[in-house]
């Protein structure tokens, strides 16, 4: 698998997990079941009654998680395409800004451009006060790989090496030839 595909799937999975966990936490804060917002996503397939389901089920929760992952992989592809257009695509500030921008575009698309049938469904189970948290989680999930300093495909989960002076090995004393 190429580095681009690995990065796409990593960004898609992390943003999907971040959105799902944040939606569940916000639902609990609002006094509802943690499964309601995940089940509500499945309204795309099963209709609006899916948002009323508060228990974990394969039909509603499973469908909601799969749809959430598909949407987040789509937004990760948009995020990665936007990053490639930037002169410094790997800088922290650039990736954070592009993550936030992609998340803002996702919100506008989700709630102002698509029909109600294809909204994420969070509006069916959460208050609007939760939306900044959810879309903030999407942004954070999209740029998480850069935020954590993740490297290229060969060492994809290895920290990036920092530029500049290197520190001496702690076991080597100054002037010794020992390895």
pLDDT tens digits for range 138-172: 999 998 877 776 534 334 444 444 454 444 444 44
Q: What is the pLDDT of residues 2-31, one digit of tens each?
A: 888 988 999 999 999 999 999 999 999 999
User: What is the share, in percent, of the chain residues with pLDDT greater than 90?
Assistant: 66
- Count up the domains in the chain and report the number: 1
Please indicate, yes or no, if residue 69 is contained in any of the structural domains.
yes
Residue 173 Cα distances to 62, 142, 178, 179, angstroms = 58, 43, 8, 10
Per DSSP, the three-state class of 126 is: coil
Contact 94, 83 (CB under 8 A): yes
Domain that holds residue 48: 3-149
Instruction: Give me the phi and psi of 59, to 5 degrees please.
Output: -60, -55
Please indicate, yes or no, if residue 81 is contained in any of the structural domains.
yes
């Amino acid at each position: 698998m190429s580095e681009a595909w690995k990065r796409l799937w990593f960004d898609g999975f992390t943003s999907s997990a971040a959105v799902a966990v944040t939606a569940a936490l916000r639902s609990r804060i609002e006094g509802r079941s943690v499964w309601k917002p995940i089940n509500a996503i499945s309204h795309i397939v099963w209709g609006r009654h899916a948002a009323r389901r508060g228990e974990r089920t394969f039909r509603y929760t499973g469908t909601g998680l799969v749809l959430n992952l598909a949407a987040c992989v789509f937004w990760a592809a948009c995020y990665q395409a936007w990053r490639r257009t930037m002169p410094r695509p790997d800088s922290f500030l650039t990736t954070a800004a592009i993550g936030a921008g992609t998340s803002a575009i996702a919100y506008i698309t989700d709630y102002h451009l698509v029909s109600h049938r294809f909204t994420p469904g969070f509006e069916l189970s959460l208050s609007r006060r939760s939306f900044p948290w959810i879309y903030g989680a999407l942004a954070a999930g999209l740029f998480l790989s850069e935020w954590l300093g993740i490297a290229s495909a060969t060492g994809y989960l290895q920290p990036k090496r920092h530029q500049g002076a290197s520190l001496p090995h702690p076991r080597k004393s100054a002037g010794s030839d020992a390895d």
